[in-house]
Amino acid sequence: MRSIPITLTMLGVLVLADCAGAGVQSSPSPSASVSVTATSTPTPDLTDPGNWVVGFGSVGPLKVGSTLADAGSALDPFTKQQQTVCPWLIILTSPTAFPGVSVWVPVGDDTIIDQLVVGDGSAGEVPHSPRTAAGIGLGSRVDQIMAAYPDAVVSPGRNESTVYSVTDGSGFYINMSVRSGAVNSLVTRDTTTIDGEYCG
């Protein structure tokens, strides 16, 4: 099978206490009672690309092992580009969602997403880049990567780049390609490698 890449509690506390009246000796106050109400974290609205996070095996609603169709209406703001010479590579772009950022989606012959690539390898800071839960995105510096992921595995990459890889033990990795001291692409897949090219 040929792979195609796709190129982004509140605690309610109630304290009750008794107060003693003036000139009247009061009995010891009972211990303050605390009522805690846990609330669930709301699910992000992934139709808003601003909520997209680069995760282990996912970028926003896109998931490795699923299909583009599974993302549903969350992809409405994006234009899908698919070249005849590289039908396995789908490139998502949107001037409103992620200005200057492309999400590459390599898929297999069965349309299953093989990996997810944020960025096209170009250098430079991208304010609207999708980011990891720790805040790493396109343009992040090496010191920021190591502060967020001190256990990142460092390995040589292609095209004079260095790859910083992290995993949560799920079998998926977030691979951060660094060139000229800054992240120029983020790739999530089931290996610690970043392909040198996606159409060739």
pLDDT digit string, tens, across residues 89-126: 999 998 878 887 889 999 887 799 999 999 887 766 67
Detail the DSSP E strand segments found in 4-101.
53-55, 58-59, 62-63, 79-82, 89-93
Of residues 144 and 197, the one with the higher pLDDT is 144
> Of 147, 125, 152, nearest to 138 (Cα)?
125
Distances from the Cα of 127 to the Cα of 16, 130, 131, angstroms: 47, 9, 10
Residue 19 pLDDT? 36
The whole-model pTM stands at 0.76
Domain ranges of the chain: 49-189
Q: Encoding tokens for residue 5? A: 């890449």
How much helix, strand and coil, in percent to the nearest 5, is found in the chain? 10, 30, 65
Instruction: Identify the CA nearest to 188 among candidates 78, 56, 33.
Output: 56
Mean pLDDT for the chain overall: 79
Encode pLDDT of 134-183 as tens digits. 999 999 999 999 999 999 999 999 888 999 999 999 999 999 999 999 99
Output the pLDDT for position 47: 64
Maximum CA pair distance of the chain? 92
> What pLDDT sits at residue 21?
42
